[in-house]
Structures are given as structure tokens and as C-alpha cells.
Amino acid sequence: MNPIPVTMSVVVSVLSSVTFLGTPADTYIYGPQYWVVLPAKIIPMVIIPLSFVPIFYKLGVTSIYEYIGMRFGRVVRLFGMLINCLYLLLYLGVVIYGPALALNAVTGLSIAGSTIAVGLVCTFYTTIGGIKAVLWADVFQSIIFLAGFILTIVACCIHVGGLTEVFRINVKDGRGTFFDFRLDPKIRHSFWSVFIGFGFLMTSYAGTNQIIVQRYLTCRSLRQSQWVAAVGNFCIGIVEIIAILTGLSMYAYFAGCDPFTLGEVQKPDQLMAYIIIDIFNEWPGVSGFLISAVFSATLSTISSGMNAFATLFGQDIIKVAYPNMSDFKFTLILKLISVIFGLLTIAMAFLASSLGGILPLVLSLIGILNGPILGVFSLGIYFPRANSKGALVGMLAALAIGIWLKVGSYVYPAVVDKPPLFTDQCSNANITLTDQVVYTVTEDKDEIDPNLGNIYALSYAYYTPLTCFITVIVGLLVSLITHPTDPSSLNPDLVSPIGELFACCLPKRLRGHMPCSVRENVEVEPPHEQEEVVKMAKLDE
């Protein structure tokens, strides 16, 4: 494939209804600190093209978990695949929930009815049709996606008097903090939590995700694949900046008459759909066109996710158990798996409706489930001495700690300050909210252990680097205790040359008599012997 449509497909595959609805809503409620996600793209733009893409491309893998199998064996590959399938199940449930919110705001249909309708349509579409020509379909979808943001920004700017006025209103109402350099890890969106946290999060999502990596490998050459990985991640950051600008414009449009406080919308994630209907109601077809952007994003994401789940489950479990199964029967089983998976995602969507905003929910899921996967790939690529026992124990330890922190954050909710929301300029309401509001308020604060409260108050942005580092650190310790891998026994294509430096920097007493490089086992003949070989070859000719 040409790298340009592949790049656009990568962008759209990462951006879904979560970005279209969740990012503007999060900016509307909390302010624009999330904008640091753009410079945070430096991390995946460097790591993915230089370390991950060359290894996947040279090995010619169909599934990225084939690499895990080559490096650490089938058990680690199976556990990694199951964690990825769990992530897909939870993530796609949230993705279905997004357009259900939009449909609820547009038609008044209950969220439950919307969730079931959208979920069944997506399941039916994916099961019988698949996603043929998905790259070019994603290109078309990206145009609608961007049009929704840009038209909303332009309309809001016209309404309030220009882009400068948008920023003035946000600054006046306490939403002018673009840089927060405090080091407190409990701050929801500081410069450091967004830069470090979302930098690693995007590396895990765009570097160790079957759907995204599969697109890199459709390019004609390794250089083009690296170009797609770098430019694609940068373009994702640009679109997210546009989504943040949409949230700022949305706040300026509703300044002084907040629909969320007035109860005109039940959840902040409905604000994007609400403003589209409010602004473009007098323009026939425009509001429906923009709402369709949410559904096109959802269909593409769910189609890709369901197919990825069916493929992983079929190749790694069904084919292994029944290697001689006919293609016809295998295809029927895959379709049945897609149907079952679709029904499960609908159930997950109902769970998502009670777990808070869709943006932090999705980013938390990525951190908890994809962080350990990123850690396992990092162990394999950068640490030649890591072994399968270390990879498995490290991955499971990180997963357990991530789940513990997330569950604890619901048991001991963090108190997060938000800028105020106002309704003093509403012509039909006397409600005024001038005090700061908090994300969650706990009723029995005296009964909460302050030490536990501080642990669970950790910003969800740090979940990915935390679980990744736990996987790597525990994996290395277990590997050193349980006889580390001899680097010279590895296929050189499984390890990044950058990673060999980690092994070579170890003290001699830890390395023992083993070489530190996977390439040290290649014997090089002395120059004079090489000359003799060349002379003998010429004589033979």
C-alpha cells in the first residue's frame, strides 16, 4: 500500500467515538491541560519506528504475538493474547457506548435502547461483511471526522466573536492553565502526567496493537513503514489538539449557561452531540451528517476489533486444538465467535455507562491491560537476557497491580478540583454555580485510610508507564534468579541493537561467562585467513 492512505488509516484506527465525544467533553469540564499530548508524541515517534517496526517487518509476522512466541515461548504468547482479547472486549464496549450517548441526545431514545441497537448493527455488519477495503474506507471516515470538529469550531467562533474571544472566555472562567509543572502524581493532568503517561500509553497502543501494527506492515518497504509510524503518531496528536480546541470553543459557546448543570444533558460525553444539534438545527441534514461521524468511527473501530479478536482466538486457540479443521468449518466458527464477542461487548457497554467519563475510562483500560504487554515486548526487544519465566511473572504482577489500583480508585474516589461552571446568564434559569465543583465527593471521609487514599489517587495517566516498568523490573529480577537467557542463543532479528547495550552494561559477575550480545556468537575469521579463502575460491574457478 501507498504510505499516505496507510497513515490516514492509522490515524482513524486510533481515533474513535471516544475521541470525538470524550476529548472535547473532558476539555470542557477540566480545561486544556491535555494539550501536552502533542509534544508527548515524541516518545512513540522515536521508539516505534526505531525499535518495534524494524523487528516486526524483518520477521514478517502476521500476528505481533508470533514475536512473543519466538522470544518467550507459547505460554507467554497465550497469556499476552488473552490479555489483549480482554482489552478489546472492554474497549469496544466503551466505543459502542459512545454513539449510544449521541443517539440519546439526538432522538431521546434511551441509552439502553441505543446501546442494544448500535451493538446489534455492528455485530451483524461485522459478522456477514467483514472490513474489505478498510484502508480507503478509513480515509473517507477521516474526512467526516475532521469536518465535525472544524465546522463546530468555526460555528462557535462566529457565535462568540472569533477565536481570540474563545480563549479570553476560557481564561476568564479559570480554563487558561496550559502548563502545570507540579510534580504531584495525584494531579489528574499535569505537564508530566500527560507527557510521560500518554507518551507511553500511545507507544503501547500504536506499537503493540495488532490492528495498528498490521497497517504498518502493509507498506512496500521498511522505510515506508517507519515513515507511517512516525507521521501517523504526529497526525494523531494534531487531531487531538483540534478536539481540545473544539472543547474550548464549546465552553465559550455555552459560557454562563451550562447545559450540564441545568440537566439538559445527563453526562458530559453528550455535550458534543448536544452542541451539534443546537448549532446546526436550522441547517437541514448538517446535524445528521456530523452525528454520522461518531457512527462511522464506531463501525470502523468495532469491525477491526471484532475481526482482530476472532483472528487471535481462532489462530492461537482453535487452530492449535484442531489443526486439521477444514477452512469452511473454521470460517463458520470464526463467525460464531464474532457474534458471541459482539453480544459480550453490548454487555460491557452497559458496564461502561456506570464507570464515569469515556475518555479517562478508555485511557485507564489501555494503561492497565496494554501497559504489561508493552513491558513484555520491551523485555524481549531491549533485554536479551530476559527469559520466559521473567516475562510471564512480570506481566501478571503488573496486571494485578494495575487492576488493584483501578478498583481501589472506585472504593476510595479521588477528590479532583475542576474549574467552575456557570448558569448565571441563562434567561430561563435562576441556578448559579460559582463555587468549585469536584469530580467525586466521598461522604465518610473520616473512615478512609489517608495512606490508601493517596495511593489510589494516582493519576490514571501514569497507569501505562507504571505497569510497563513493573513488568520490566520484575521480569529482569526473575530472569536473573531463574537462569537468564544466553544472548548468543537468540536469533539476532529478535533483539534491537539498542537493547544489546543493556546486557553489555551489566557487571561481569552478573553476566558470568556468557556474551552480552546476540551477535557475539558469530565467528569472524581473521583478515589473513579471509584472504586465503578468497584465493582458494579463485583457484577452484
> Which of 160-169, 260-269, 337-346, 415-424 bottoms out in mean pLDDT, i.e. has the lowest?
415-424
pLDDT band, very low/low/confident/very high, at 434 (cuts 50, 70, 90): very low
pLDDT band, very low/low/confident/very high, at 245 (cuts 50, 70, 90): very high
How large a percentage of the chain has pLDDT more than 70?
A: 80
Contact in structure between 133 and 329 (CB atoms under 8 Å): no
pLDDT digits (tens, 9 = 90+) for 456-513: 778 888 888 999 999 999 999 999 898 888 877 888 888 887 756 655 665 555 555 4
pLDDT band, very low/low/confident/very high, at 136 (cuts 50, 70, 90): low
pLDDT at 419: 80
The length of the chain, given as a count of residues: 541
201-225 burial: b if 16+ Cβ within 10 Å, else e: bbbbbbbbbbbbbbbbbbbeebebb
For residue 377, count other CB atoms closer than 10 A to its CB.
27
- What are the domain boundaries of the chain? 3-355, 487-540
Mean per-residue pLDDT for 50-74? Answer: 86
Q: Is the pLDDT of residue 518 over 60?
A: no
Q: Is the pLDDT of residue 432 over 50?
A: no
pLDDT band, very low/low/confident/very high, at 220 (cuts 50, 70, 90): confident
Residue 77 C-alpha cell reads as 504468547
pLDDT at 541: 58
E strand map for 188-300: none
pLDDT at 219: 85
Mean per-residue pLDDT for 286-301? Answer: 75
**Measured between alpha carbons, how far is 367 from 462 in angstroms, rounded to an integer?**
8
**Measured between alpha carbons, how far is 306 from 312 in angstroms, rounded to an integer?**
10
Mean per-residue pLDDT for 52-59? Answer: 88
Mean per-residue pLDDT for 43-69? Answer: 87
Mean per-residue pLDDT for 304-324? Answer: 76
Residue 124 C-alpha cell reads as 451483524
Q: Is the pLDDT of residue 268 over 50?
A: yes
**Measured between alpha carbons, how far is 138 from 12 in angstroms, rounded to an integer?**
6
- Alpha-carbon distances, residue 373 vs 163, 431, 487 (angstroms): 42, 48, 22
Contact in structure between 515 and 488 (CB atoms under 8 Å): yes
pLDDT band, very low/low/confident/very high, at 175 (cuts 50, 70, 90): confident
Query: Domain 3-355 is in which class?
Result: mainly alpha
| Helix (H), strand (E) at residue 437 | strand 437-438
> Which residues contact residue 127 at a Cβ distance below 8 angstroms, ignoring those fewer than 6 apart?
306, 335, 338, 339, 342
**DSSP for 34-103, written as a single string:** GGGHHHHTHHHHHHIIIIIHHHHHHHT-SSTHHHHHHHH-HHHHHHHHHHHHHHHHHHHHHHHHHHHHHH
Give bridge partners of residue 438 from the DSSP assignment: 417
Q: Is the pLDDT of residue 206 over 80?
A: yes
Q: Is the pLDDT of residue 440 over 70?
A: no
Bin 74: left if φ > 0, else alpha if -120 < ψ < 50, else beta. alpha
**DSSP for 244-297, written as a single string:** HHHHHHHHHHHTTS-HHHHTSSSSGGGHHHHHHHHHHTTSTTHHHHHHHHHHHH
**Measured between alpha carbons, how far is 487 from 269 in angstroms, rounded to an integer?**
50
Give bridge partners of residue 437 from the DSSP assignment: 418
Q: Is the pLDDT of residue 274 over 70?
A: yes
For residue 495, count other CB atoms closer than 10 A to its CB.
24
Contact in structure between 467 and 372 (CB atoms under 8 Å): yes
**Measured between alpha carbons, how far is 436 from 422 in angstroms, rounded to an integer?**
10
Mean per-residue pLDDT for 381-410? Answer: 89
pLDDT band, very low/low/confident/very high, at 131 (cuts 50, 70, 90): very low
β-bridge pairing 437-438 and 417-418: antiparallel
pLDDT at 457: 79
**Measured between alpha carbons, how far is 186 from 459 in angstroms, rounded to an integer?**
5
**DSSP for 347-370, written as a single string:** HHHHHHTTSS-HHHHHHHHIIIII
Of the candidates 84, 41, 523, 33, the residue with the CA atom closest to the CA atom of residue 312: 84
pLDDT at 524: 39
Phi, psi values for residue 218, rounded to 5°: -85, -5
Mean per-residue pLDDT for 433-446? Answer: 34
Q: Is the pLDDT of residue 231 over 70?
A: yes
Mean per-residue pLDDT for 272-294? Answer: 81
pLDDT band, very low/low/confident/very high, at 332 (cuts 50, 70, 90): confident
Q: Is the pLDDT of residue 427 over 70?
A: no
pLDDT band, very low/low/confident/very high, at 125 (cuts 50, 70, 90): low
pLDDT band, very low/low/confident/very high, at 441 (cuts 50, 70, 90): very low
Mean per-residue pLDDT for 106-128? Answer: 75
pLDDT at 490: 81
Contact in structure between 516 and 504 (CB atoms under 8 Å): yes
pLDDT at 525: 41
> Which of 133-137, 342-346, 349-353 bottoms out in mean pLDDT, i.e. has the lowest?
133-137
Most confident of 198-202, 350-354, 456-460: 198-202
pLDDT band, very low/low/confident/very high, at 259 (cuts 50, 70, 90): confident
pLDDT band, very low/low/confident/very high, at 353 (cuts 50, 70, 90): low
Contact in structure between 116 and 288 (CB atoms under 8 Å): no
Predicted model pTM: 0.80
Of the candidates 490, 148, 81, the residue with the CA atom closest to the CA atom of residue 297: 148
Q: Which residue reads 478512609 in cell numbers?
A: 448
> Which of 45-59, 428-442, 465-479 bottoms out in mean pLDDT, i.e. has the lowest?
428-442
**Measured between alpha carbons, how far is 424 from 426 in angstroms, rounded to an integer?**
6
**Measured between alpha carbons, how far is 322 from 457 in angstroms, rounded to an integer?**
47
> Which residues contact residue 520 at a Cβ distance below 8 angstroms, ignoring those fewer than 6 apart?
487, 488
More confident residue, 329 or 499: 329
pLDDT at 477: 93
The pLDDT mean for the chain works out to: 78
